[in-house]
Amino acid sequence: MSLATGAALLLAGAAVAADAPAADVCLELAPEVVGPEEWSSVVAAVAEAVTPRTALFPAPSLDETGTRLAIDAGDGEATPATSSCLESGFEWSARFDRAFLQAGAERMLAEAPTTPGITSAVDIEWLPAESRLRTVLVFAGPLDIPNGTCWIDDVIAIEDGVVTASGERGLRTSPFAEGACGRFYEHLPQGGAGEQAVTLLPATVMLSDGRRLRFEAQDVTVREDALVVSGSLARE
């Protein structure tokens, strides 16, 4: 093989990797910081954590490559773990895709109790400059009576190695329509989209030797297409 041909193949491979679709959720650990048994415990803990979250994961599937785990919601074609999500300088990273969180919010709304004659829609507003996600419900009845907007604001931050979401609530409604917002809040006991994401994966994993592997968050970023959390590992 000539050098030119080899270079062309490498460039083609890089293009394929760059164009690979992002997983709904990606968790990746640096290979040098975790052993095979520890990684198996992490995969098992993640599987256990996502299975009950049926609105986010109607039919979850996990695909692993080395120490990279792609978690698919199961609402379309599964995405293999071919695209890295590990941020430079960290021992682990977790990436939550924007489209995944939007689809989950829509499924939660579809499963929520509704008032006859009331139409509603949910949207997630991404505000990267403010490290904030806003989950918004807009509803209206016949002839636009009643009507209103409710929201949950999640300012994403880190406190003592744990990712937090503020979960501040707000509403603008017509008279006597506050009940629709109350039902919206009640059906989201785990908060808005930001809190749903940052509380999804286990913060600690029990290892086979009785110790715990703790995921300490050191950086969280709201991007245009994803929420990304990164940090270091500690064993207790």
DSSP state of 143: G
What pLDDT is stored for residue 114 in this prediction?
Answer: 64
Rounded Cα distance, 137 and 149, in Å? 6
C-beta of residue 80 within 8 angstroms of C-beta of residue 69? no
Sequence-distant (≥ 6) Cβ neighbours of residue 113 within 8 angstroms: 183, 187
Instruction: Tokens for 9, please give them.
Output: 């193949």
Q: How many CB atoms lie under 10 A from the CB of residue 57?
A: 23
User: Is residue 236 scored above 50 in pLDDT?
Assistant: yes
Residues with Cβ < 8 Å from 178, sequence gap 6 or more? 148, 171
pLDDT at 195: 93
Enumerate the H helices of 72-134 as residue ranges: 98-111
* Mean pLDDT (whole number) for 215-230: 97
The whole-number pLDDT of residue 15 equals 39
Q: What is the pLDDT of residue 113?
A: 65
Cα(10)–Cα(167) distance, rounded to whole angstroms? 46
Residues 70/47, Cβ–Cβ less than 8 Å: no
Does the CA dihedral 94-62-48-55 come out positive or negative? positive
Give pLDDT tens digits for 38-92.
999 999 999 999 999 998 999 999 999 999 999 999 977 778 999 999 999 999 9
- Domains, the chain, ranges and CATH? 3-97+196-235 (no CATH), 100-195 (3.10.450)
pLDDT at 235: 94
Average pLDDT of the residues in 159-176: 90
Average pLDDT, the chain: 87
Query: pLDDT class for 17, splitting at 50, 70, 90?
Result: very low
User: Position 182: which residue type?
Assistant: G
Asked if pLDDT for residue 159 goes beyond 60, the answer is yes
For the chain, give the percent of residues with pLDDT over 70. 90
Tokens of 67: 């120490």
Return all residues near 174 (Cβ < 8 A) that are at least 6 apart: 145, 146, 147, 148
The H or E element spanning position 42 is helix 36-50
Arithmetic mean of pLDDT, 12-25: 62
Burial bucket for residue 25 (CB in 10 Å: 0-12, 13-18, 19+): buried
| pLDDT value of residue 19 | 58
Can you tell me the distance from the alpha carbon of 57 to that of 200, in angstroms, rounded to the nearest whole number? 11
pLDDT at res. 10 = 36
CA nearest to 173, candidates 140, 197, 209: 140
Average pLDDT over every residue of 122-131: 96
pLDDT of 223 higher than 70: yes
Prediction pTM value: 0.87
The helix or strand, by DSSP H or E, that contains position 36, with its residue range, turns out to be helix 36-50
Look at residue 4 in the predicted model and tell me its pLDDT: 37
pLDDT at 132 over 80: yes
Question: Percentage of the chain surpassing pLDDT 90?
Answer: 67
pLDDT score recorded for residue 11: 38
